[in-house]
Amino acid sequence: MSRLNAPEYGDVPAHVRNTLDKVGMQFGFVPNMFATLASNPAVLDVVMTLQGSLARVLDARTRHTIALAVSEANGCDYCLAVHSYVSSELGGMSSDDIDLARAGSSIDPKRAAVARFAQQVVESRGRVSDADLAAVRGAGYTDPQILAIVTVAVQALLTNFINNVNQTDIDIPAASPVGTQG
């Protein structure tokens, strides 16, 4: 059971209901994470603004790959469920590629380098090695793109931390353990 309280839809300000309505249109319902964030409109705005801004920094599959790799490394079951669902249903990623992303890889060699690098960012708390940087550069990423990779990883960590603290009830099909059919 979630540990933080989500307000009732009718109890939040109109601008928050508007934001929740937009999220609901995307998913077909308002996921528990967003309903909980509605209790603090400023935090909801930060998360939504960050997600909107980061949608422009890398292609969708690369962003999904990062989110899956980071959520797996950080052990966030809620985010794994959401990102697996979004990657599959909205992002067109295969279940094999989703599993690989969670394991720090990809069917695409360039995205595999991103997944490994994103997991290294998490595991090293940002203190990646020169070899880690060389590997992601060797896959063809520029320094501005590396900044984007780190920022997308940190955005995933933000929601991982929120959902891990909350123990958010999973209201979307749960992600299967890597390597199993769900």
Dist. CA 48–CA 175, nearest whole Å: 23
For the segment 53-65, what is each residue's pLDDT rounded down to a tens digit? 999 999 999 999 9
Please say if the pLDDT value at position 182 is more than 50.
no
- CA separation (Å) from 72 to 42, 62, 105, 130? 27, 15, 12, 24
DSSP 8-state code for residue 172: S
Task: Clarify whether residues 108 and 138 are in a common domain.
Answer: yes
Instruction: Please tell me the predicted confidence (pLDDT) of residue 15.
Output: 96
Instruction: Please tell me the predicted confidence (pLDDT) of residue 179.
Output: 60
Structural tokens at position 9: 């839809």
Instruction: Please tell me the predicted confidence (pLDDT) of residue 178.
Output: 67
Helix intervals (H) in 1-142: 14-27, 32-37, 41-54, 60-73, 77-85, 95-102, 109-123, 130-138
For the segment 18-46, what is each residue's pLDDT rounded down to a tens digit? 999 999 998 889 999 999 999 999 999 99
Dist. CA 31–CA 81, nearest whole Å: 11
DSSP 8-state code for residue 3: S
Task: Clarify whether residues 72 and 145 are in a common domain.
Answer: yes
For residues 152 and 67, is the Cβ–Cβ distance under 8 A?
Answer: yes
Tell me the pTM.
0.92
Instruction: Please tell me the predicted confidence (pLDDT) of residue 181.
Output: 47
Query: Across the chain, what does the average pLDDT equal?
Result: 94
For residues 100 and 115, is the Cβ–Cβ distance under 8 A?
Answer: yes
Q: At 17, is the pLDDT very low, low, confident or very high (cuts 50, 70, 90)? A: very high
Q: At 90, is the pLDDT very low, low, confident or very high (cuts 50, 70, 90)? A: confident
Element (H, E) at 177: none
Q: Is residue 122 part of a domain?
A: yes
Structural tokens at position 139: 């896959």
Q: Name the residue range of residue 33's domain.
A: 9-54
User: For the chain, how many structural domains are there in total?
Assistant: 2
Task: Clarify whether residues 72 and 157 are in a common domain.
Answer: yes
Task: Clarify whether residues 112 and 160 are in a common domain.
Answer: yes
